[in-house]
Structure 1
Amino acid sequence: MFPLLQRCCFHMPFKLQKSTSPRLLLHGNNKTTWSSVGLCLQRDACHLSRSPSLNPASVYATKLQAFHTSLPFLKKKTPKESETKDPGVWQRSMKSLKDSPKPALYLSLAGLIPFASVPLSMAVQGTYYPELAFAQITYGAVTVSFLGGMRWGFALPENSPAKPDWLNLANSTIPPLLAWQALLFKDITHGAIMLVMALGIALHYDVSLLPTYPRWFKVLRVVGTLVMVLSLLATAVLKTLLENQLSDSRNKCQNIK
């Protein structure tokens, strides 16, 4: 009897189910069909519950597991450790700067003293010294030439990532040429501006354009370039301000006389 009911209930054609279901739902005329369908479902459930592979304990455990299981997209995503502890650019740069070799770090910082001392001494004394300004420009030209020639030393070894091609070797000669041009200017302001351009080009080569140096050296180059550029611009600004103050004081003295 059960196989016959099962074939009648669950293996009837789809067209027959589609044609009879609206009538059953809307009018409720064929109560015998409804009762047979319910009887089939009830017997089917009893047959499944009596199956040897599904005992009551396993069915209960499956229901609990289904009840306590949430959808994947509703689960709260825990942030990765790299996302929660991702340091900023400043922290990474400072860490790279601390990881640099001590001789390179200390010598580079010591090489910035002649740049920073010139505008600092002028600002403290309130007087513009042309000799000190020209000495700063000369030291800046030597530094720019050193930064340009350093590319040759980096490209010549056999295992170097930078090849001794036209791009590396020819670009390394551009900063010395700009430094030489800076020494030809009679005005200190023009020489300072030319050195600022040469320092910017050399930094662009070392950091982004050509095959790069280690990370600690790139951070050291950025810090050193900022100090040199600010020192040269400070000297140019102090030259303009202090010379204007000196000319104003001379004019007042002449007016008094």
Structure 2
Amino acid sequence: MFPLIQRCYFHAHFKLQTLPVPRLLLYGKNKTTCSSLGLHRLQRDVCLLSRSSSLNPASIHAAKLQAFHTSLPFFKKKTPKESETEDSGILQRSMKSLKDSPKPALYLSLAGLIPFVSVPLSMVIQGTYYPELAFAQITYGAVTASFLGGMRWGFALPENSPAKPDWLNLANSTILPLLAWQALLFKDITHGAIMLVMTLGIALHYDLSLLPTYPRWFKVLRVVGTVVMVLSLLATVALKSFSEQQLSNSRNKWQNTK
């Protein structure tokens, strides 16, 4: 019985490869008809070949070496409209989570951003760079980063908290004050601001992905607050570089006139 099945399979496979391609394959509407015609021909050839003589062992070995053709799967690409819909959906959910946050947490977090925004805004309005205000902004940013680290420590202390008081939570909460302290040690405001930006980015990474999760509204609030703080620090650095450039240009002009 098994040799008969092998004989039928080999001849059927050979006939299937040598069958002429019908012209109907060129038309998309008649693919089903062509497939049914090829299936009837295959069944007829199998029945005729089942009555023939025994198959040569060399042919069986050649049939085993035949490679089977498999077409690659077709992956559907997202259209720009679908991606825009997904982005708008994420934005809407984020705004909804921000509105659902407790009012004291929302208002106090927004009020805590005022010292960051007021420093570069006042410099732009007056048209003058003040190193004292820039240092005050760096100091307030270091205090804020230390507060974010200490908040993690307090979150891990209660017995029913999902965050355990282990090395991961407690050690990562103490890293942020150390980085903030390092930002205050720089004599140059630019270096301190860059160090503080890195500290705020690490704190956001901790709160969003590394450590056990906070509520969704707090995550959205942390993202918004971090973006505002980073942009304010970068604006101060840009104003400092612009002021130094203007000062160097004025000195060059004064030396040339002299």
TM-score range, shorter chain: 0.5 to 0.7
Matched, 1:251 2:252: yes
- Structure 2 partner of 1:146: 147
Unaligned runs of 5+ in 1: 1-83
Superposition pairs of residues 48-197 of structure 1, within 5 angstroms: 88-197=89-198
Structure 2 residue matching 1:173: 3-state secondary structure: helix
Label 1:184 to 1:86 Cα distance change in 2 as closer, same or farther (>3 A): closer
Q: CA deviation at 1:247?
A: 2.2
Amino acid at match of 1:203: L
Amino acid at match of 1:216: W
Aligned length: 174
- Structure 2 partner of 1:54: none
- Structure 2 partner of 1:67: none
Label 1:249 to 1:85 Cα distance change in 2 as closer, same or farther (>3 A): closer
Structure 2 residue matching 1:253: 3-state secondary structure: helix
Q: TM-score, normalised by structure 2?
A: 0.65
Amino acid at match of 2:149: G
Is the Cα–Cα contact under 8 Å of residues 155 and 164 in structure 1 kept in the other structure?
yes
- Which one has a bigger Cα radius of gyration? 1
Cα distance per residue 1:154-187 (max 9 Å; x no partner): 0001110000011000000111100000000000
- Structure 2 partner of 1:76: none
> In structure 2, how many angstroms separate the alpha carbons of the residues matched to 1:85 and 1:190?
38
- Structure 2 partner of 1:227: 228
Q: TM-score, normalised by structure 1?
A: 0.65
> In structure 1, how many angstroms separate the alpha carbons of the residues matched to 2:154 and 2:211?
14
Q: CA deviation at 1:126?
A: 1.8
Deviates further, 240-249 or 197-206: 240-249
Unaligned runs of 5+ in 2: 1-84
Percent identity of equivalent pairs:
88
> In structure 1, how many angstroms separate the alpha carbons of the residues matched to 2:191 and 2:250?
25
- Structure 2 partner of 1:208: 209
Q: CA deviation at 1:122?
A: 1.3
